[in-house]
């Protein structure tokens, strides 16, 4: 099966389905990514805070795949928002990944209560790193509509993606709408709500109608809405299931039924971006 590619507003493209390595222990990351490559994944999403970039790099080196076959995203650690720290940290990420350039570099969290509320200079630094060829594209993660408005107004440049929490129980429509209004695409983290949706009666019914799993139904819902997703599992069977999304389609009625599961803020499972201020040791 061929994964669709979506065009970003900077002229580059991105695979709509990828493999996420959040919470995969560093010692297990290389094998998990190699397994993902075997199943056909070519888009890998990591982050400095995950502490497993080296494992991703080892897998890339051992995969036998050419660099242009693989799309690699990493994200800026919360402790490295100052421009000089951001520049240094990306160089260190490139060393760990064994690459000269990542495909996409994101500000992981806006941290509006840190750094005197300045995330604009951090965004300006990512744009600088893009011009320098250290990353092909620059984007953000967990940015609310007002965060997006501020950086675009200050710089005239919008992120190509905004990676935000999105799943059937939390559609996060305000952030999705704002991202698209600025020309960006939405990347959905926690696309199956960390498993919380898997016994949902609506999803179970749709899954039975298609001979699929509730997870596959939720992931297909994301794809048909235009979201970019990278489900994470180290279980080979589930990795294969998460990739098998392109030979069935939800009807309009089924899409609407999943839309109806949205609980608004009550469905949010992660921290609110206005309040998230954790800087790892």
Q: Three-state DSSP class for 107?
A: strand
Chain CA centroid to CA 10, Å:
18
Whole-number Cα distances in Å, 198 to 214, 215, 250 = 5, 6, 17
Measured distance CA(49)–CA(61) in Å, rounded: 21
* Count of beta carbons in the 10 Å neighbourhood of residue 114: 17
Give catalytic residues, as residue numbers: 50
Measured distance CA(199)–CA(196) in Å, rounded: 7
E strands along the chain, which residues? 5-7, 13-15, 19-20, 43-45, 71-76, 102-107, 135-141, 161-165, 185-189, 228-229
Beta bridge partners of 60: none
């Amino acid at each position: 099966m061929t994964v669709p590619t979506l065009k970003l507003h900077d002229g580059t493209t991105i695979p709509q389905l990828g493999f996420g390595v959040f919470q995969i222990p560093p010692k297990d990351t290389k094998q998990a990514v190699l397994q993902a490559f075997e199943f056909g994944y070519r888009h890998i999403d990591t982050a400095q805070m995950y502490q497993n970039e080296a494992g991703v790099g080892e897998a890339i080196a051992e995969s036998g795949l050419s660099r242009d076959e693989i799309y690699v995203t990493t994200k800026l650690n919360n402790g490295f928002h100052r421009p000089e720290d951001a520049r240094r940290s990306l160089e260190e990420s490139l060393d760990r990944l064994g690459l000269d350039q990542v495909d996409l570099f994101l500000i992981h969290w806006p941290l509006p209560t840190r750094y005197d509320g300045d995330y604009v200079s951090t965004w300006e630094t990512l744009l600088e790193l893009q011009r320098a060829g250290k990353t092909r594209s620059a984007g953000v993660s967990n940015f609310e509509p007002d965060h997006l408005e501020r950086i675009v107004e200050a710089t005239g440049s919008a992120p190509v993606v905004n990676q935000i929490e999105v799943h059937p129980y939390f559609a996060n429509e305000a952030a999705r709408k704002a991202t698209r209004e600025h020309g960006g695409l939405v990347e959905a983290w926690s696309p199956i709500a960390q498993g919380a949706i898997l016994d949902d009666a609506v999803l179970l019914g749709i899954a039975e109608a298609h001979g699929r799993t509730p997870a596959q139904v939720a992931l297909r819902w994301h794809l048909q809405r235009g979201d970019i997703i990278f489900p994470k599992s180290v279980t080979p069977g589930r990795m294969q299931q998460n990739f098998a999304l392109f030979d069935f389609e939800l009807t309009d009625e089924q899409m609407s039924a999943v839309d109806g599961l949205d609980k608004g803020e009550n469905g949010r499972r992660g921290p609110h971006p206005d309040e998230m201020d954790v800087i790892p040791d």
